[in-house]
C-alpha cells in the first residue's frame, strides 16, 4: 500500500486500511491515514479521519474535553455539507459517548438525537440501530445497578424494529436483544413472545448462539414442552459439531443450563465440561463468559440442593481463593440468588432467596439474611466471594465487621512474606478543571512520614513512576467515567500532549513493586462494571499491577470530609493495621457517625496469604 500512497492513490490506501482492520484504523497507521485524507481533498475522508482520530483519543484515555472541543469545531461544516451526514452522525456518536462519560446525560441525549436525525436522512440502518442502542445505554446509566435491564432500551429497540417487521435481517438482532433483556429481568413470558415474533419474521433461519442462550433459560424454567425440549437439545448437539473450542465451551454451558430443570445430574457434568473447555479456548472473551456463567450456575444449583459447603468451594475455585473453614460469604446470582455463609463456628450454611416480582436482584442489604450475618460475629476478617451485581456493593455486610471482596483480578502467585517497604505516597490532583466542570479539591493533610506529588508535575507518567516503589498510595483526584472501557479514570495534571486521564489499562501495565495498599479518595473510585462475567474497575487495575489491597467508594464522596477520613485510614494502615480492620475502625468510630458516605467505602483484595502468613 506504500506504492499506492506514493502514486497518489489516497482513496485506495484508506479503503484498504478500513477493510483490512474491520472498519477501524490502528494507531500505528493513523498518521498515514490523516495525511492521505488531507491530500485527497475530500470532505468525506477528512471527516472520516477526524472520526478515527477521536475514537483513538477516547480509547487511549485522553481528556474528553479534547474530543468535545474538536468535534464542536466541525459542527458548522456538518450543517453546510448534508451529503456527509454519515460521517457527521459518527462524530455525533463520539460526542454523545464523551458527554455520557462525564455524566452530562442531557447533552449526550442532544447529540444522539442529532445522530438519529442524520442517520434517518441517509437511510443508514446500521447508524440508526447504533443510535437506539446508545440511547438505551444512556438511560441504563441512570440505573442504580447497571445489571438491571432498563425498559427504555426495549422502547428504543422496538422503535427500530417496528417499520421493518417483515425484514428478517433487520429484526433478527433487535428481537433477540429484547428477548435477552426480558431474560435479564426474569420476564420469561416476554422472552417467549419475542422469540415467537422472530420465528414469524424469520421462519427459515437457523438458531444462533444468542437465541440458544435465551431458549436454554426457558428450558431451565421448565417452560418447554417435552417435544420442544428434545428438539432443542438435539439442535444444540448439532451446533456443537465441528465448532471451535471457544464456541464448544459456550455451547456446553448452554446445554448444562438447559438440562438443569429436567436432568440436574447431567447438567452438572456439562457445566464442568464447559469450565474445563474454556481453559483451552482461543477466544478469551467467550471463554470468560462460558467459565463464569458455568461456575455461577453450578454454585447456585449446589445451593438449591442443600450443598452449601460444595457451593462455597466452587466459588473459591473460580476466584482462586484458598480454602478456609470459616468466615466467608459466597453469593451466586443466576435468575435466583444463592447465599452460602461459613460462620465463625466453621459450619457453612446456605439459602436460596425467593424471587420478587419486578425485582430481579434484591437490594444489597437484603441479600444476606440476618441469621446468617449473626454467624459471622467474632470473625477477625470476612471474605466475600461474588460477581456482579453484588461485587463492590458496600451494603452487603454491616460496618462493624472487618470484611472485604475477593477480586477476580491479579490472581497470579505473589511472594509470601512482608512486601517491600516503600514510601507513603500522596497523589493530590486538587486543581480545578473548568472544561469538565470540576472544582478545586481540598489538599489532604500530610504527615512527616508521607511524601506528596501535586501540581503541574503530577502527570500520568510521573504518577506511575512514583507509585511503582510506594507501599501505601493515597490518591485524591477527580474521576471521569470512560463509556468505552466501562471504567472510571483518574484526572491528573495535563502532560505535554494535553493528556490528563490515567486509565486502568495504563495502571495494569505498570508494576507496583512494593505490593501497596491503594486508597482512592475520589468519587466513584471504587465503582465496578456491571458485567456478570468479569469485574472491571480501577481497583482491579491496581490489583493486577501488584497492589495487595484497594479501598474506594462506588458513589460520590464529600471533598473535605474525605480528605480527613482517608488521612485517618492511611495513618492506621501505615501503623500496621490490616486494611479490613482499619476500615472497620473508621466505619465504627464516633467521628464518622454523621458521615454516612463512609459506609460506602469498600475493600478489594486478591486471593493470597492471610495477615498472619505475611
pLDDT tens per residue across span 165-194: 566 766 777 788 778 777 877 889 989 998
Among residues of the chain, what percentage have pLDDT more than 90? Answer: 44
Under the banding of pLDDT at 50, 70 and 90, the label for residue 140 is very low
Q: Which residues contact 567 (CB under 8 A, 6 or more apart)?
A: 444, 445, 447, 474
Q: What is the pLDDT of residue 151?
A: 54
Q: What is the pLDDT of residue 167?
A: 66
- Rounded mean pLDDT of 546-557? 94
* Crossing angle of helices 105-122 and 85-101, rounded to 10°: 160
> What is the C-alpha separation between 465 and 288, in angstroms, rounded?
32
In sequence order, what DSSP letters do the residues of 290-359 get, joined into one string? HHHHHHHHHHHHHHHTT-HHHHHHHHHHHHTPPP-SSSEEEEEEESEEEEEEE-TTS-EEEEEEPPBTTB
Q: Is 490 exposed, middle or buried (0-12, 13-18, 19+ CB in 10 A)?
A: buried
Strand partners, 405: 384, 604
Taking 80 as the threshold, does the pLDDT of residue 334 lie above it? yes
- Rounded mean pLDDT of 600-608? 89
Taking 50 as the threshold, does the pLDDT of residue 158 lie above it? yes
Distances (CA, A) of 127 to 120, 159, 562: 8, 14, 43
Q: Return the H-helix or E-strand segment holding 158.
A: helix 151-161
Q: Answer for the pair 595, 561: CB distance below 8 angstroms, yes or no.
A: yes
**Residues 505-545: pLDDT tens digits?**
899 989 999 999 999 999 989 988 766 667 778 999 999 99
Under the banding of pLDDT at 50, 70 and 90, the label for residue 437 is confident
Q: What is the pLDDT of residue 291?
A: 92
**Residues 368-406: pLDDT tens digits?**
999 999 999 999 999 999 988 899 999 899 999 999 999
Under the banding of pLDDT at 50, 70 and 90, the label for residue 351 is very high
Under the banding of pLDDT at 50, 70 and 90, the label for residue 38 is confident
Under the banding of pLDDT at 50, 70 and 90, the label for residue 409 is low
Specify the pairing of strand 328-334 against strand 336-342.
Answer: antiparallel
Q: How far is CA 168 from the centre of its chain?
A: 32
Pick from 5-19, 27-41, 578-592: least confident: 5-19
Amino acid at each position: 500500500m506504500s506504492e499506492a500512497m506514493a502514486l497518489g492513490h489516497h482513496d485506495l490506501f484508506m479503503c484498504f486500511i478500513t477493510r483490512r482492520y474491520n472498519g477501524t484504523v490502528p494507531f500505528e497507521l493513523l498518521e498515514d491515514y490523516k495525511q492521505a485524507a488531507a491530500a485527497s481533498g475530500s470532505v468525506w475522508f477528512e471527516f472520516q479521519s477526524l472520526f478515527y482520530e477521536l475514537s483513538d483519543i477516547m480509547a487511549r484515555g485522553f481528556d474528553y474535553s479534547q474530543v468535545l472541543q474538536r468535534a464542536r469545531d466541525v459542527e458548522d461544516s456538518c450543517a453546510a455539507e448534508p451529503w456527509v451526514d454519515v460521517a457527521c452522525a459518527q462524530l455525533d456518536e463520539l460526542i454523545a459517548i464523551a458527554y455520557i462519560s462525564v455524566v452530562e446525560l442531557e447533552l449526550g441525549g442532544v447529540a444522539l438525537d442529532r445522530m438519529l436525525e442524520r442517520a434517518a436522512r441517509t437511510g443508514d440502518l446500521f447508524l440508526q440501530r447504533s443510535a437506539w442502542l446508545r440511547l438505551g445505554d444512556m438511560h441504563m446509566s441512570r440505573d442504580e445497578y447497571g445489571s438491571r435491564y432498563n425498559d427504555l432500551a426495549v422502547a428504543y429497540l422496538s422503535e427500530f424494529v417496528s417499520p421493518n417487521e417483515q425484514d428478517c435481517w433487520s429484526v433478527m438482532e433487535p428481537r433477540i436483544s429484547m428477548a435477552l433483556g426480558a431474560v435479564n429481568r426474569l420476564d420469561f413470558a416476554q422472552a417467549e413472545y419475542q422469540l415467537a415474533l422472530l420465528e414469524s419474521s424469520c421462519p427459515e433461519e437457523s438458531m444462533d448462539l444468542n437465541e440458544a442462550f435465551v431458549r436454554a433459560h426457558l428450558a431451565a424454567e421448565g417452560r418447554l414442552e417435552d417435544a420442544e425440549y428434545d428438539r432443542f437439545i438435539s439442535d444444540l448437539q448439532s451446533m456443537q459439531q465441528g465448532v471451535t473450542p471457544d464456541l464448544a465451551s459456550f455451547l456446553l454451558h448452554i446445554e448444562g443450563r438447559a438440562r438443569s430443570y429436567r436432568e440436574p445430574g447431567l447438567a452438572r457434568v456439562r457445566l464442568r465440561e464447559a469450565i474445563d473447555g474454556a481453559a483451552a479456548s482461543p477466544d478469551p472473551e467467550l471463554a470468560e463468559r462460558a467459565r463464569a456463567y458455568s461456575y455461577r450456575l453450578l454454585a447456585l444449583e449446589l445451593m438449591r440442593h442443600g450443598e452449601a459447603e460444595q457451593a462455597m468451594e466452587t466459588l473459591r475455585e473460580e476466584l482462586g481463593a484458598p480454602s478456609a473453614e470459616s468466615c466467608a460469604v459466597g453469593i451466586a446470582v443466576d435468575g435466583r440468588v444463592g447465599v452460602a455463609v461459613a460462620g465463625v463456628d466453621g459450619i457453612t450454611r446456605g439459602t436460596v432467596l425467593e424471587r420478587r416480582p419486578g425485582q430481579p436482584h434484591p437490594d444489597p442489604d437484603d441479600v444476606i439474611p440476618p441469621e446468617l450475618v449473626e454467624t459471622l460475629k467474632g470473625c477477625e476478617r470476612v471474605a466475600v466471594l461474588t460477581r456482579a451485581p453484588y461485587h463492590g456493593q458496600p451494603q452487603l455486610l454491616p460496618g462493624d465487621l472487618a470484611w472485604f471482596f475477593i477480586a477476580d483480578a491479579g490472581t497470579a502467585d505473589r511472594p509470601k512474606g512482608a512486601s517491600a517497604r516503600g514510601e507513603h505516597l500522596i497523589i493530590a490532583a486538587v486543581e480545578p478543571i473548568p472544561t469538565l466542570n470540576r472544582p478545586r479539591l481540598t489538599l489532604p493533610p500530610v504527615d512527616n512520614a508521607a511524601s506528596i506529588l501535586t501540581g503541574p508535575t503530577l502527570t500520568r507518567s510521573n504518577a506511575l513512576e512514583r507509585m511503582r516503589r510506594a507501599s501505601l498510595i493515597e490518591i485524591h483526584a477527580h474521576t471521569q467515567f470512560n463509556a468505552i472501557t466501562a471504567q472510571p479514570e483518574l484526572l491528573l495534571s495535563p502532560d505535554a500532549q494535553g493528556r490528563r486521564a490515567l486509565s486502568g489499562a495504563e495502571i495494569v501495565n505498570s508494576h507496583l513493586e512494593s505490593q501497596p495498599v491503594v486508597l482512592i479518595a475520589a468519587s466513584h473510585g471504587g465503582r465496578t462494571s456491571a458485567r456478570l462475567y468479569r469485574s472491571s474497575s480501577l481497583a482491579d487495575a491496581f490489583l493486577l499491577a501488584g497492589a495487595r489491597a484497594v479501598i474506594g467508594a462506588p458513589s460520590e464522596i464529600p471533598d473535605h470530609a474525605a480528605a480527613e477520613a482517608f488521612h485517618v485510614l492511611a495513618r492506621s494502615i501505615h501503623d500496621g493495621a490490616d486494611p479490613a480492620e482499619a476500615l472497620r475502625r473508621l466505619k465504627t468510630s464516633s467521628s464518622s457517625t454523621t458521615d454516612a458516605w463512609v459506609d460506602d467505602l469498600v475493600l478489594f483484595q486478591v486471593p493470597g496469604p492471610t495477615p498472619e502468613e505475611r
